[in-house]
Chains A and B, each alone.
Chain A
Amino acid sequence: MLGFIIQRFIQAVLVMAVMSVIVFCGVYAIGNPIDIVIPPEATQEIREDAIRRLGLDRPLYEQYFIFISNLLQGDLGRSFVYNIPVLELIGGRLPATLELVLISVISATVLGVSLGIYAGYRPDSWVAKTIMAVSVLGFSVPSFWVGLILILTFAVNLGWLPAGGRGETVQIWGVAWSFPTLNGLSHIVLPAINLALFKLAMMIRLARAGTREIMLTDTIKFARAAGLSEGTILRRHLLKLISIPIITVFGLELGSTLAFAVVTETIFSWPGVGKLIIDSIGLLDRPVMVAYLILVAFLFVTINFVIDLVFALIDPRVRHGVSA
């Protein structure tokens, strides 16, 4: 077990190292940010001074090593545009994104797994067919388009819910959150539905496929033969057996939802990290882009690592190294 953890940990560190090189080189190949940072009428001296100050005169590999050594000390540099530490900039926006992503993924999972189990349990009922039709739509229709329709329907035509922004926030431990206030909650609803729809479709399919397969196995037959009620079988046995793929996907989706929040945040003017990165790409604000990508990569690697650990805890085959 310990060997397994150490092996996975070394892998994760390696992946992070490779990602940091790729991201750094990739982002630093884009344009010349100097033209954006200083006005065009600036003298040559000011220009060169700015280049030196931002460290852009050094060779790329040197810039990379400076970046890495700073990174390891928790310093991701300063934004060219806002001139504040990047970590502060992203940290300030992160709660908004986290709030949105967590609400979406958790509600999509809870709802999706329940609907999926039902659809798999009674595959021929019309309810199951409706659920599956909705899930096909959730897969096919681009997420930004769903966002537009949500705004058009519920904000413009019906006027029930606000179309953008975070609404009232409450300070908890010095961080602003929207969900505790009724007004804030009403602002979350539409973007959360928008972000959750794809995940919901995926969870439904996953839970349905798992349920259909497992309902035919001996485990369920024996449980029935033992006289357990259907409810108990579903809760105690089925749920446990379909949980492995669901936990994996839940973890992976948490990461990809964070990335996809870029689209939802842009549509609903949600002041999170996604909107920040879109703005930064437009403004060639390199430190912000690099920091964001490194953070997302870090998050992905951490999530994968945690999933492997959870796997090992749930599945004895992985724990003891039988069949990889």
Chain B
Amino acid sequence: MSSTSSPLSRFWTEFRENKIAVVALVVVIVLILVALFAAVISPQDPYDLAKLSLMDSRRPPGFVGTGGYTHLLGTDPQGRDLLSAIFYGLRISIQIGLAAGFVSLTIGTTLGILAAYRGGWIEALIMRLVDLQLSFPAILLALVIVALLGQGKVQLIGALVAAQYAYFARTAYGAAKAERGKDYIEAALAIPLSGRLVAIRHLLPNCMPPLIVVATVQIANSISLEATLSFLGLGLPVTEPSLGMLISNGFPYMMSGRYWISVYPGVALIILIVAINVVGDQVRDQFNPRLRK
């Protein structure tokens, strides 16, 4: 490894050593591409109710429906082609996961750095609130907020953010607190640069590695939490089913042996979550100085 290589290429060289993580990364990229191009590669538009026929509902995999093409993974109770529904469901799940992850990252990091940087009663107030919230299970919090705000994409993202920002705040706070006392921050303040500038230009970038790790884990968690809420009937509206909703729709039919309606969307969900987690694990190990060779 040459010492002149950029941090990114060094990071990639190290990442490549873990074959499982590379496979997981490829899987994540493929799933994101599938989600992006869902409209192009799906045999059917699952949201267009006019194109659905009840004649086709709950058909097993391989059934040739009224549309004249084969339903590779079968159809759901509304007569949707399950493969198309999964592609579109992936899109919604990834969207929600990314949106919730990004907003929580922004809010949590701001609060955490603010607390570490300002200190005093602001620090006490923010961190007490964060600690209080972390002692409460995220699922319960999300459940109450969804019940409070009603159903819909924005409300759901709001609930996920409220349930998860505290993890980012805690991480950012810890990292910023450790960086705060270091010489380069003192030097920047002595120049003198304004406090805000130092916080944004110098403190924030050095807090990023642990935050990136938390972000990968939390995106996977958001996706899983969204699926759980949708399964409980508290997630997204029925017209645009996410993966969790598809699983929930199929649940009543499972008892009579029509397993595919629930099982295939579930498999897609798990592949997505596990792949993100494996990538996140590898990134965490690489950022962890204690595991450095």
Contacts and interface: CB of A to CB of B under 8 A. Distances in A.
Interface of A: 15, 18, 23, 26-27, 29-30, 136-137, 139-145, 148-149, 151-152, 155-156, 163, 252, 255-256, 259-260, 262-263, 266-267, 277-278, 281-282, 289, 293, 296-297, 300, 304
Nearest to A145: B266
Contacts of A155: 255
B27 interface: no
A140 B231 contact: no
A259 B269 contact: no
A262 B144 contact: no
Contact of B135 (A30, A136, A252, A293): A252
Nearest to A163: B255
* Chain B interface, >50% SS class: helix
Contacts of A252: 135
A278 B232 contact: yes
Contacts, number: 96
The interface residues of chain A, by DSSP majority, are classed as: helix
B147 A30 contact: yes
Contacts of A256: 137
A30 B148 contact: yes
Contacts of B147: 30, 281, 289
B143 interface: yes
Q: List the 9 shortest-distance A-B pairs measured between CB atoms, nearest first.
A: A259-B137, A256-B137, A281-B147, A259-B140, A142-B224, A140-B274, A144-B231, A145-B266, A140-B277
Given A27-B144, A262-B139, A282-B233, A148 B255 contact: no
B140 A140 contact: no
Interface string B131-146: 0100111011001100
A277 B224 CA distance: 21
18 contacts: A26-B144, A30-B148, A137-B274, A140-B274, A141-B273, A141-B274, A142-B224, A148-B247, A149-B266, A156-B255, A255-B137, A259-B137, A259-B140, A260-B137, A281-B143, A281-B234, A282-B233, A296-B140
